[in-house]
Amino acid sequence: MSGFDGIGGNVTVDGEKLWSDILETARFGATPKGGIRRLTLTEEDRQVRDWFVRTCEALGCVVTFDSMGNQFARRPGTDPSLPPITMGSHLDTQPTGGKFDGIVGVLGGLAVLRALHESGRETRHPIELINWTNEEGSRFAPAMLSSGVFAGVFTEEEALAKTDRDGVRFEDALVGIGYRGAERCGDHPVAAYFELHIEQGPILEAERKTIGVVTGVQGMRWYEVTVIGRDGHAGATPMALRADALVGTAKLIEAVQSIALKHAPGAVGTVGLLENRPNSRNVVPGEVFFSVDLRDPDDAVIVRMEEAFRSTAAQVASESGLEITIELVWDSPAVRFDPTCIDAVRRAADSFAYPARDIVSGAGHDAVYMAGVTPTTMIFIPCAGGVSHNEEESAEADDVMAGANVLLRAVLDADERLN
Ligand SMILES: [Zn+2]
C-alpha cells in the first residue's frame, strides 16, 4: 500500500466491516431469492435510512436531510469556510433489485467515513456522504429525481407532485416516513462529488480489471419510427405491386445494426419494440411502428448515426413506395466528468496497484446531474456477468473493498487539490 505520494498515507477502509454492512442492510426489504425490494419512501426505505443515521452518528457525523429527503452525513473539516467534498449514491432498489446497485456507493462512502474517524485523519474540507432519494424511479418516475431537483433539472414542486401507481403523492410518502427536511433541496454548496458503483455491464469482469475509471456517461437518443405501406392479400397481390411495411422495416433494423457496428466499439443501436399491423398471416403488412435507441459516448457520433439512419430510411421509402416518419422522442446528451476528479481516481487506483481501465457509463446515475453543478466523477467495480437490476446481482467482497479504498484516496486527493 506504499508508494502513494503522501496523500492518504496508509489509511485504508475496513473491507470486512463494509461487507457486513452490506449484509446487515440487505435485511431491510430482503427477498426470498437473496435480493432486495426496497422501493423509495416505503417502510423498508425508512428502516435503512434510520440505520444510516444511527451508524453515521456513531462515527461522529452530523446527519441532516433536505426537502426531498436526501440524507447528508457530514464529518467536519479543519477549514470551516470550505464546502464539503461529497460521496454518495442510493439505498433504494428496483422491485426485484440486488444488494449492490447504489448500496455499494453509500456503504462504501460510509467505510471512508469510518476509516477517517478511526485513523483520526483530518481533512481541510468537510467530507460528506449523501443518500439520494428515489434514484431508481421505479415507484415514482423519472429516475434520479432528487439529485435532479438538487441540480435544478426538475423543480421541487413538480417532483413533490409525482404519484405512484396507487395514486400516492411523493410528498405524502416522504412526510409519511418522516424524512421531509427543512433545508430546501439544492441549497447545499458542495466542492466535488464522487460516486462508487457497480459497473452494471460485463467489461471489467471480462478484462479482469478491478477498477473502472469512469470518464463520462454516454449520450442517448430515442426515436419512434412509423412505416406506412399498403395492406394487401398475401395471395392475390403480385410482388411487384406491394408496399410491404414490414420488409421495409427489416431493412431499417438491419441498418441500425450496421450503423452501430460502423462506429464500434463505442456505439450501440437497438430496435427493441415493434408493432406490425394488421399482423395477420395472409395480409401484406400495411403499417409498422418501432423504436430505435442509439447511444455513444460522443454526441457528434450519435448525430452522424442519426443522419445515416435517416438517409437509409429515405432510400428505403423511395425504393419501396413506403412512407417513413422518424420522430426524436428523447435526447440525453453525453456527460464528461471532471478531469481533476478523474485524475484523482486514476492516481488512487494506481497507488493500490489495482488493475484499472477507463470506462464510459452505459447507465444513468445521480452523478449525471451532479456533474452539472460540481466537479464530479464515478468509480466502477465489476459485477458478476454484468447482471444488475436483478436479485442475482453479485459482486466480490475484495472488489467492493478496492472500490471503497479508491474512493477514500480520491477524496483525500481532491481535498488537497480542490478549493
Ligand atoms: Zn444505481
DSSP state of 418: -
Tell me the CA–centroid distance for residue 202 and ligand 1, in Å: 16
Q: Which residues of 150-171 are buried (b: 16+ CB within 10 A; e: fewer)?
A: bbebbebeebbebebeeeeebb
Distances (CA, A) of 352 to 1, 4, 381, 402, 409: 6, 8, 14, 8, 10
CA distance 33 to 23: 14
Closest-CA residue to 227 (of 170, 270, 177, 290): 290
pLDDT, tens digit, 9 for 90 and up, residues 118-135: 999 999 999 999 999 999
> Which range is least confidently modeled, 45-49, 230-234, 344-348, 415-419?
415-419
Type of residue numbered 282: N
pLDDT, tens digit, 9 for 90 and up, residues 77-110: 999 899 999 999 999 999 999 999 999 999 999 9
Tell me the CA–centroid distance for residue 101 and ligand 1, in Å: 5
| 377 pLDDT more than 60 | yes
| 3 pLDDT more than 60 | no
pLDDT, tens digit, 9 for 90 and up, residues 203-253: 999 999 999 999 999 999 999 999 999 999 999 999 999 999 999 999 999
Residue 320, all three cell numbers: 419501396
pLDDT, tens digit, 9 for 90 and up, residues 279-291: 999 999 999 999 9
Tell me the CA–centroid distance for residue 365 and ligand 1, in Å: 6
Mean pLDDT over 17-31 rounds to 98
* Residue keyed to cell 407532485: 161
Tell me the CA–centroid distance for residue 281 and ligand 1, in Å: 43
Residue 347, all three cell numbers: 492516481
Residue 389 banded pLDDT, cuts 50, 70, 90: confident
Tell whether pTM > 0.85: yes
Mean pLDDT over 127-144 rounds to 95
Residue 332 banded pLDDT, cuts 50, 70, 90: confident
Q: Give the pLDDT confidence score for residue 268 in this predicted structure.
A: 95
Tell me the CA–centroid distance for residue 102 and ligand 1, in Å: 4
Strand partners, 377: 194
Radius of gyration of the chain (CA): 24
Distances (CA, A) of 342 to 95, 327, 404: 32, 36, 15
Tell me the CA–centroid distance for residue 389 and ligand 1, in Å: 9
Residue spans of beta strands (DSSP E) within 97-210: 127-132, 192-198
Tell me the CA–centroid distance for residue 325 and ligand 1, in Å: 35
> What percent of the chain lies above the pLDDT cut of 70?
98
Q: How far is CA 357 from the centre of its chain?
A: 19
CA distance 64 to 229: 60
How would DSSP label each residue in 240-279? GG---HHHHHHHHHHHHHHHHHHTTTT-EEE---EEEES-
Reduced to 3 DSSP states, what percent helix, strand and coil does the chain have, rounded to the nearest 5? Answer: 35, 25, 40
Tell me the CA–centroid distance for residue 275 and ligand 1, in Å: 31
- Max intra-chain CA distance, the chain: 85
What is the overall mean pLDDT for the chain? Answer: 95
Q: Give the pLDDT confidence score for residue 321 in this predicted structure.
A: 96
Type of residue numbered 12: T
- Kindly report the number of other CB atoms within 10 A of residue 204's CB atom: 23
pLDDT, tens digit, 9 for 90 and up, residues 58-67: 999 999 999 9
Tell me the CA–centroid distance for residue 79 and ligand 1, in Å: 32
| 50 pLDDT more than 50 | yes
CA distance 86 to 9: 20
Tell me the CA–centroid distance for residue 91 and ligand 1, in Å: 9
Mean pLDDT over 189-200 rounds to 97
Judge whether 84 and 191 are in contact, CB under 8 Å: yes
- Kindly report the number of other CB atoms within 10 A of residue 331's CB atom: 12
DSSP state of 13: -
Q: Give the pLDDT confidence score for residue 4 in this predicted structure.
A: 47
Distances (CA, A) of 323 to 108, 265, 277, 287, 359: 53, 32, 15, 9, 40
Residue 9 banded pLDDT, cuts 50, 70, 90: low
Closest-CA residue to 45 (of 87, 85, 86, 97): 97
Residue spans of beta strands (DSSP E) within 105-244: 127-132, 192-198, 211-217, 219-228, 232-233
Residue 8 banded pLDDT, cuts 50, 70, 90: low
